Amino acid sequence: MDFHAEFFPTAFLEKIKHTDKLLLVGSCFTEQIGNKLASHKFNVLENPNGILFNPASISNAVTSYAAGRLYEAKDLFYYNELWGSWQHHTKFSNIEKDKALLSINNSQKKANLFINDTDWILVTIGSAFVYENTAADYKMVVANCHKVPADKFYRRLMEVQEVKNVLSDMMDTVKAVNPAVKFIFTISPVRHLREGFIENNRSKANLIQAVHALTDNEQVFYFPAYELVIDDLRDYRFYAEDMVHPNYAATNYVWEKFVSSCIDEASQQLMKEIAVVVAARNHKAFNPASEQHKKFLLSNIERIHQLSKSYAYIDFRQELDFFQRVGSHL
């Protein structure tokens, strides 16, 4: 008997290559996939505003990169002895206003340069619920509440058409500066149970409905991360102890499906060779002074030289420096 209904995502007609640039924006699930792409030497820029959950904040952020927006001191607020931005994660907050502003604008500049010629924008949306700052002169959707008391915000659920509109406007703005860019939308499998069980399902349903209304376009793709965890794995053993976040096994499972359906064959083969180099760098030698370990270091230096000749667009400098530095001390 088969107790597992495995789901095989449809392969993309156009796939990601190692020569492509990828901007990843959205929830913490975005960062998990982004880290795996970066470890396999893809050229990625991940969450320039920090983790974002709702489509309005994601749209605002990506639009600001395309427009080359820089923030001003008046855009920051002071709370709990920190200066922060309502459009950014708390990692940008600082006890000094100038330092907070500098960190934010350095990230904005980097994102602006990157988005102008990026090949793919991967957007992972977590929730259709937004929190509006009621203390502001106008109702402003915040990307992060910065632990400000809940009574300072108005919570509401974005309807399908509103989600579709903000994401569509975002894509139009980006394509005005980068017409060839392609978008991948995915819904985060992280369960926002603080909103409530029923509310979380309503939220995910609105996101799924809106995103699928946008995929009738050769430049827009959908990857079913949410469905892989909820309907394929479909078991609490694939969640962390909080029963909210997918665990290591689940994330790896989704990653394997992403690779097979979204990344081209040549890059998949190259990823295997890169994985060998990365594993060798992380290897702990039992006897670092042995002749066997010296041969191990030399063979990996030679492997990196060969890979660098064949794939000049891949940066192996960190790995090469590591092996050469270790070898020089023997």
- 246/278 same-domain check: no
Residue 13 lies in a domain: no
- 121/221 same-domain check: yes
**187: buried, middle or exposed (CB in 10 Å: 19+, 13-18, 0-12)?**
buried
Backbone angles phi, psi at 246, to 5 degrees: -60, 140
* Among candidate residues 263, 283, 306, the one where a domain is terminated: 263
What is the 8-class DSSP label of residue 212? H
pLDDT for residue 161 is more than 90:
yes
pLDDT of residue 329: 64
b/e burial code for range 200-210 (CB count within 10 A of at least 16 → b): beebbebbbeb
Average pLDDT, the chain: 93
What is the 8-class DSSP label of residue 270? H
- 217/244 same-domain check: yes
> Average pLDDT, stretch 247-276?
95
Nearest CA-CA partner of 288 in 330, 325, 316, 317: 330
Q: pLDDT higher for 28 or 197?
A: 197
Residue 298 sits in which domain range? 273-328
- 313/251 same-domain check: no
DSSP-derived 3-state class of residue 81? coil
pLDDT of residue 137: 63
- 57/198 same-domain check: yes
User: pLDDT, tens digit, for every residue of 32-91?
Assistant: 899 999 999 999 999 999 999 999 999 999 999 999 999 999 999 999 999 999 999 999
pLDDT of residue 330: 58
Q: Are 97 and 76 in contact (CB under 8 A)?
A: yes
End-to-end CA distance of the chain: 57
> CB atoms < 10 A from the CB of 328, how many?
8
